[in-house]
Structure 1
Amino acid sequence: MDEKKTLNHLQSEVIELLRFPLMVLVVFVHMLPFEQKPLNLNLDGENIYNTITELISHYLGRLPVPCFFLFSGYFFFFKISKLNTEIYFSQLKKRIKTLLIPYISWNIIYILLVYLKNIVFYMLDKNFDEIYMGIKNLSLYNIFWGLPINYPLWYVRDLIVMTIAAPLFYYLFKYTKFYGLLIILAIYLSTIEFNIPGLGTTAIFYFGLGAFMGLYKKNMLSIVISYRKISMLLAVIALGFVGYYNASEYEEYWVRIFLIFGIVVLLFGGYKCLTHEKLKKVFILLAPTVFFIYGSHMIYILGWLKGALLKSPLSISNLGMLIGYFIIPFICICIILIIYRFMEKYCPKVLSFITGNRQIHI
């Protein structure tokens, strides 16, 4: 096997290995509200809790989505030397099964489970919950697209739009080469948003970056290995500025700079993990469960566990809350994996349908 083929094989392994850890990080993101808390330079218990949780959920937790856009753009274009109508519609047809059907399915599953829970509440003479009341007041557009109702699926919504827009990326890079990449980078770093569902600048830049490297057959791992040291340094510096400008108008600029270099560091970390055979085997084995975890974790499971934490003895101290913060995501994932295993055994066709045929036996 020549060096190029070896690097491409290692790159595929790194991406597959990282999928599950990135999904774990997504669950940590949803441990906190979207609102950020200001950080202070002191050793107060509450500030220590806020610093650690903000770092993980609001800063490091921003890494998974750009990575998934990057990988998607790369693999969409990697085997394409020339995009024509036949190839384009062939790719779209594949994405109907892997993106559109799971996207619609998980939004419907969310609604059905909310209604089922509230029917039980009604029978027990209890009040309807806020989610049920919210759904009743939403339009179909907001339920399935504007929000969407199963909120983490906004990533899939944006990815569907990027896939449809693939010819625009193709011609942008065909005629402008590297300058086209600089254009979408400038838009991304400006933090300007179009406020149109499906057209987030994070999706445009990282899917576009993946598309550029896929079209020109660049090996991401080769670039990562070459620039790992300077990227580590710049990621730490940028993260320092993120902390300094925490909860201010300048924070988002530094977060986006951090993410660019942070992704390089993350990919290099995945590359180094390949040498740990047991860890590699576990992460790759769990990789096909990622979409199921992604689609299901915000349907009551994580919310109930967070509610249980607030009612437990752990909630009386910042240390207890920090312990709960680290434990709950893994309890949540374990519960989901049990459900996944049950469905795999008793209704594999349904599982295949709602995950875009991504699952394997675990």
Structure 2
Amino acid sequence: MTQYLSDKLRILSLISIVFVLYIHSGFHADEIEGMVMNDRVQDFVSGMMGRCAVPLFYVISGYLFFLKVPEGMKSIYGKMRKRVGTLVVPYIIGCLFFVGFGVLMAVLPGVSKYMNSSVMPLFSKPIGEILRSIFYDAGNGSPCAFQLWFLRDLILIVATSPLWYLLLKHLRWILVVTCLGLTYLHIQFIPFFALFWFLFGGQLVQVKNKYGGASLTVFTIVVFLFLSVVQLFMPDMIDWELVKIPIIILGLISIWGIYDMVLGKDFKLSEHRWLATACQFTFFIYLFHEPTLNIVRKLIVVMLSKNELGYLTSYLLSPWIFTVCAVFAGLLFRRYLPRVYNVCTGGR
């Protein structure tokens, strides 16, 4: 992999995590009831633009996982062992952090109002259900640390990766397309949506870079934005769920091309100190942005008051303010507790 591609994947990962923050910065319908502009902005940024974020993470993960397998299955087993430290351990820590932080917020006087819900009812359940809620499914399809569903599904895919490696090796695009069709069946306990994007990224390893350039980028941007706007204002026009994945693919092609158009082939991340630093903490931000992001967005509303401007300002600024705070927190964490930081983030 070239340095240019490495830089590109790191920057696109940072952009994706900002969109994830936007998804989780949105206010509930009862909080912005009657605020039409706020509702439209949230739907467009989080719903239309943000829907590309998680698929892009899976595509990158699949691409990197299958990129270098010189010894075939032996290389796959080696990557599986490595992912225990880079995925499983951070996942366990992230799940425990969410619950522990929630307990702390519940017992500290005057701060519970900055949380959307309390984790305390969890501890009235049997121990088996508590562990299941914390580490697998709290009853809504996600663990208590709901943002970590992505990592949970990625761990499940990696755990079964020898099967996907063999199938992808022999079936290639047939497997990817088959997995695409299976996403529409919504089979419980099998994350076909995540698997499709992961295998899509894995198959891209075999594809030579014959990107169409600026003309293709402009075309995909126009089509993606057109469909997004139509969906935003005419949500009942068709069953948009049926074309969700094709629209996301258009969005991913757009993002990929925009990077080349804006930054160019001569761009070097190492020459941009602050951007390079921020890119180092993408995984850290992802692991620990909930429920801490809640505090930032609700504090802004408290300062600006609960009106249309306050909610809109909080929504638009919270992801950026939180990113800056998280990067500085990560720098301090890594500097003063380097070993602990490496364990928490899997050495990233």
Q: TM-score, normalised by structure 1?
A: 0.81
The one-letter code sitting in structure 1 at the alignment partner of 2:120 is M
**Identity in percent:** 21
> Which residue of structure 2 aligns with residue 143 of structure 1?
134
When residues 309 and 207 of structure 1 are mapped into structure 2, their CA distance, relative to the original with a 3 A threshold, is same
Deviations, residues 19-70 of structure 1 (Å, cap 9, x unaligned): 2121111111101257799xxxxxxx93222211111112211111101100
Give me the whole-angstrom Cα distance separating, in 1, the residues matched to 2:27 and 2:330.
27
Whether 1:283 aligns to 2:309 is: no
The one-letter code sitting in structure 2 at the alignment partner of 1:20 is L
**Preserved CA contact (<8 Å) 1:20 1:283:** no
The structure 1 residue matched to 2:231, chosen from 226, 242, 255, is: 242
Shift of 1:290: 0.8
**Structure 1 residues 184-223: aligned runs within 5 Å:** 184-188=179-183, 190=184, 192-196=185-189, 199-214=190-205, 216=206, 218-219=207-208, 222-223=210-211
**Preserved CA contact (<8 Å) 1:101 1:353:** yes
When residues 259 and 302 of structure 1 are mapped into structure 2, their CA distance, relative to the original with a 3 A threshold, is same
**Preserved CA contact (<8 Å) 1:77 1:211:** yes
**Structure 1 residues 63-212: aligned runs within 5 Å:** 63-80=52-69, 83-84=72-73, 86-121=74-109, 130-136=117-123, 137=125, 138-146=129-137, 147-188=142-183, 190=184, 192-196=185-189, 199-212=190-203
Give me the whole-angstrom Cα distance separating, in 2, the residues matched to 1:232 and 1:280.
27
**Structure 1 residues 228-307: aligned runs within 5 Å:** 228-246=217-235, 250-275=239-264, 281-299=273-291, 301-307=292-298
Give me the whole-angstrom Cα distance separating, in 1, the residues matched to 2:177 and 2:303.
50
The one-letter code sitting in structure 1 at the alignment partner of 2:294 is G
The one-letter code sitting in structure 1 at the alignment partner of 2:297 is K
Deviations, residues 210-253 of structure 1 (Å, cap 9, x unaligned): 11122x2x24x543648434422432343234224437882323
Shift of 1:144: 0.3
Give me the whole-angstrom Cα distance separating, in 1, the residues matched to 2:212 and 2:158.
25
When residues 87 and 103 of structure 1 are mapped into structure 2, their CA distance, relative to the original with a 3 A threshold, is same
**Structure 1 residues 300-319: aligned runs within 5 Å:** 301-316=292-307, 318-319=308-309
**Preserved CA contact (<8 Å) 2:220 2:254:** yes
**Preserved CA contact (<8 Å) 2:90 2:346:** yes
> Which residue of structure 1 aligns with residue 326 of structure 2?
336
The one-letter code sitting in structure 2 at the alignment partner of 1:107 is C
Give me the whole-angstrom Cα distance separating, in 2, the residues matched to 1:224 and 1:252.
28
When residues 282 and 244 of structure 1 are mapped into structure 2, their CA distance, relative to the original with a 3 A threshold, is same
The structure 1 residue matched to 2:43, chosen from 47, 54, 61, is: 54
CA RMSD of aligned residues (A): 3.0
Shift of 1:280: 5.6
Deviations, residues 244-287 of structure 1 (Å, cap 9, x unaligned): 44378823233322111100111112223434668965433311
When residues 225 and 202 of structure 1 are mapped into structure 2, their CA distance, relative to the original with a 3 A threshold, is farther
> Which residue of structure 1 aligns with residue 14 of structure 2?
20
Q: TM-score, normalised by structure 2?
A: 0.85
When residues 280 and 236 of structure 1 are mapped into structure 2, their CA distance, relative to the original with a 3 A threshold, is farther
* Gap regions ≥5 residues in structure 1: 38-44
**Preserved CA contact (<8 Å) 2:20 2:50:** yes
